[in-house]
Amino acid sequence: MRITVIGTGYVGLVAGACLAEVGNDVVCLDVDARKIDMLLAGEMPIHEPGLEPLVARNVAAGRLHFTTDVAEAVRFGPLQLIAVGTPPDEDGSADLEHVVAAARSIGRFMDGHRVVVDKSTVPVGTADRVRRAIAAELAARDASLPFAVVSNPEFLKEGAAIEDFMRPDRIVIGTDDEEAARTMRALYAPFQRNRERLIFMDVRSAELTKYAANAMLATRISFMNELANLAERVGADIELVRRGIGADPRIGYHFLYPGAGYGGSCFPKDVKALVRTGLDTGLSLEVLAAVERVNDAQKRVVLRKIVQRFGENLVGRRFAVWGLAFKPGTDDMREAPSRVLIDGLLARGAAVSAYDPAAMAVARQIFGGTIAFADAPLAALDSADALAIMTEWKEFRSPDFGELRARLRAPVVFDGRNLYEPADLAREGIEYFPVGRSQPPGARSHA
């Protein structure tokens, strides 16, 4: 199958490479010449485990191609996947500028039947806008060519995107066109050999499904964060509470980990967009508005603990930060809780030394020379008054606590991801501030 993927960001590049891996001939189009130059040179514009060898293998096999030539790309594939960014607009709605521009390009250059697939996360009604944009361009050319618009939202987790694409738990297809449905079934046949994963529905339901999924997961996170804050006040341990409620099969354990709030390119943007969609229809989505408020506040929980421990004036203090990406397995710092912490520390006069195994280059673009960067986790601790953990990378889970204690000016750890057991750090003589965890007697005493 010949496929054109419009956009070489997170969704587009992963989708293009995975579709080429199963034998399709794929052209990835991007108007950003810098990205295409990087890809042609074998460099990845994003960090995703396993992506670089996957791309290299399929380029070498002649199945994966990259171009900035819009006309060439549109004419190449009867199947056109739109996978461009939909950043939040000022009012919280999804900015569809790039989606509509892609649709116009398809209408301008298509030379035969096209199945146009919305892979980008888009609000309900976007397929109608895409359909109108293509039709308008065809009318301007005085051309009459058949096409169908399909909603096929992605459900990829950053850090596990290739696994998610190659072994999906479900594939949502929104279409009312029988030929397009057959095309989509053929496209995904290699990914569902052991069981049926396709879920067909109308276009608007498919568009809403993506937002609903992310909003549900965000709701679970904010709910647990509120419970964690309550647990601290009543002397309970949120980890034990998590185990107790997660054992109920109706609830389960997924996304029940409290911490410093969620970030990234999906949850914050999609919750905002869904709230905005509700308002546009005259409906106030109160639960989701609360989810967003709780998360905004939770991003400041580690900073609040630091201020409670060291005071509002942090001039002369130095803090080590482990973890900058919003989650492990990625270099994505969009809406990352670490940014809120670091901005708050700098605003109070503190110095910061940070380490992240993947996001250092991105962090340098964001913070420039306002913070220091260490080349290893323990090196970030030198001369620091305390350590703050903001991302649950595996390499942070079992550090040398003796070395950690020796390098810090005072053995104080603020853990925004609850990586350690309070009793273990108390035995190590380390003052420990997790989120929602009960403390052994005397564990927080300090001069």
Which residues have C-beta within 8 Å of that of residue 210, sequence separation ≥ 6? 121, 153, 154, 155, 172, 270
- Of the candidates 403, 407, 401, which has an alpha carbon nearest to the alpha carbon of residue 432? 401
* Contact criterion met (CB below 8 Å) for 130 and 83: no
Catalytic residue among 27, 266, 288, 381: 266
Q: Is 266 a catalytic residue?
A: yes
Chain center to CA of 416: 18
Other Cβ atoms less than 10 A from the Cβ of 370: the count is 11
Residues 302 and 416: beta-carbon distance below 8 Å: yes
Does an H or E element contain 367, and which?
helix 360-367
The long-range contacts involving 356-359, CB below 8 angstroms and separated by at least 24 positions, are: 356/322, 356/323, 356/324, 356/325, 356/331, 356/391, 356/393, 357/393, 357/395, 358/47, 358/325, 358/329, 358/330, 358/331, 359/47, 359/324, 359/325, 359/330, 359/331, 359/332, 359/333
- 3-class SS of residue 64: strand
Rounded to whole angstroms, the Cα distance separating 301 from 42 reads 41
Residue 15 CA to residue 255 CA, distance in Å, equals: 25
Catalytic residues: 266
